[in-house]
Amino acid sequence: SDAEDILLILPADHVITQPEVFRQVVAKANSLAEQGYMVTFGIVPTAPETGYGYINTGAAADEQSFHIQAFVEKPDRDTAKTYLDSGDYFWNSGMFMFKAGRYLEELANYRPDILQACENALAKTEQDRDFLRPDKEAFLACPADSIDYAVMEKTDRAVMIPLDAGWNDIGSWSALWDITDKDEAGNAVSGDVIALDTRDSFLMAGNKLLVTVGVENLVVIETDDAVMIASKDRVQDVKDAVEQLKQRQRPEATLHRKVYRPWGYYHCIEQGERHQTKRIVVNPGAKLSLQKHHHRAEHWIVVKGTAMVTRDDEKILLTENESTYIPLGVTHCLHNPGVIPLEIVEVQSGSYLGEDDIIRFQDDYGRQ
């Protein structure tokens, strides 16, 4: 709301082991931002890391910062070694600090298309309880570009301040292994795991017993959705696997088996050609939308709590071990009037079981 406000832009997934050092560097960056500079934080490199972009520094801007020569893409290992040896390259942290007004001015100069798209989206903002929701179509029309490319590589007001505060962006499973406590064999273990003759690996079991025998330097991740096994030095390539999922239109690319909703969540237990079983948990006082389906019928069994069920003009109160049937095409709603979570098992049957087979008539959460 104020062009003089200073923005500190940080990743959501990093770890900083020396927070007091980080605060001191941010305070230095704040003084530069107040002078109108566009500040980024360059991580003092400790290894020839190929998973990060780099910042090539130029001349000193003052005693605590440098002008930026160039932003450099993720290098191969040999190139990364030359960067490390030169002392002129820092890891690109993706953290920035600048005045809001200064950023908008620079965006107007170098990427007016991005600025215009965002202004269009904000002009049609809707209030949804505690949230401001920009117009979806206008925002989707915004070109996708990073702050680095859009502004920082072009402006003459960019400076970099070094940061050496035990930073790790946890950008990969191997990075998570780096910061996690390990057993005497160098394994970082989470969940129900038996590791036999296994060394220097990251092993995470979400739901099932995970057993490894005679392996090393692996990342093994077991979840409801999938199992991933990768060499620890190849985990950056997981993005290629995700791209394969998208190309094959696999549901795992966009939808988890456990899906959160404003009223609670559902967990897909089993799915076949014409049937699907879900565990549904509804928060106290919450209610699903009033809806119907064109292609499926549903059986509801109450496992825990109390359910108020609407079926067309009929209302039914169900308690534990009771059930009801929702025929195809019947308007229905599920409400938890109790003070504990409502848990039900839902069995769907029909010719099509996709989540888009929902016609909503009324919804407490403003969904279409």
pLDDT tens digits, residue range 91-130? 999 999 999 999 999 999 999 999 999 999 999 998 877 7
pLDDT, tens digit (0-9, with 9 covering 90-100), for 197-252: 999 999 999 989 999 999 999 999 999 889 999 999 888 788 899 999 999 989 88
Tell me which H or E stretch contains 138: helix 136-140
Q: Is residue 177 part of a domain?
A: no
67 and 41 in a common domain: yes
194 and 82 in a common domain: no
Q: Is residue 337 part of a domain?
A: yes
Q: Distance between CA 337 and CA 62 in Å, rounded?
A: 63
Q: Distance between CA 241 and CA 234 in Å, rounded?
A: 12
Among 168, 193, 216, the domain-final residue is: 168
301 and 163 in a common domain: no
Among 109, 142, 168, the domain-final residue is: 168
Q: How far is CA 259 from CA 13, 208, 263, 337, in A?
A: 21, 19, 11, 22
Domain that holds residue 27: 6-168
Q: Is residue 110 part of a domain?
A: yes
Place of tokens 């496992």: 303
pLDDT at residue 366, rounded to an integer: 77
The CATH number for 337's domain is 2.60.120.10
34 and 69 in a common domain: yes
pLDDT, tens digit (0-9, with 9 covering 90-100), for 344-359: 999 999 999 988 899 9
Interhelix angle 100-110/112-123, nearest 10 degrees: 120
Q: Is residue 248 part of a domain?
A: no
The region of weakest confidence among 26-35, 62-71, 277-286 is 62-71
The CATH number for 140's domain is 3.90.550.10
Ramachandran class of 24: left when φ > 0, alpha when ψ lies in -120 to 50, beta otherwise: alpha
62 and 142 in a common domain: yes
pTM over 0.85: no
Three-state SS for 34? helix
105 and 48 in a common domain: yes
275 and 202 in a common domain: no
Q: Distance between CA 212 and CA 264 in Å, rounded?
A: 35
Q: Is residue 368 part of a domain?
A: no
Beta strands in 242-340 (DSSP E): 258-261, 264-271, 275-282, 290-292, 296-304, 307-311, 314-318, 323-326, 332-335
111 and 25 in a common domain: yes
Q: Is residue 252 part of a domain?
A: no
109 and 25 in a common domain: yes
Q: Is residue 244 part of a domain?
A: no
111 and 66 in a common domain: yes
111 and 78 in a common domain: yes
DSSP per-residue codes, 68-117: EEEEEPPP-HHHHHHHHHHS-EEEEEEEEEEEHHHHHHHHHHH-HHHHHH
Three-state SS for 314? strand
154 and 22 in a common domain: yes
pLDDT at residue 365, rounded to an integer: 85
Q: Distance between CA 22 and CA 285 in Å, rounded?
A: 43
Total domains in the fold of the chain = 3
Q: Is residue 154 part of a domain?
A: yes
Neighbours of 239 (CB within 10 A): 10
Confidence label for 301 from pLDDT (cuts 50, 70 and 90): very high
Find residue 5's DSSP bridge partners: none
Among 168, 194, 213, the domain-final residue is: 168
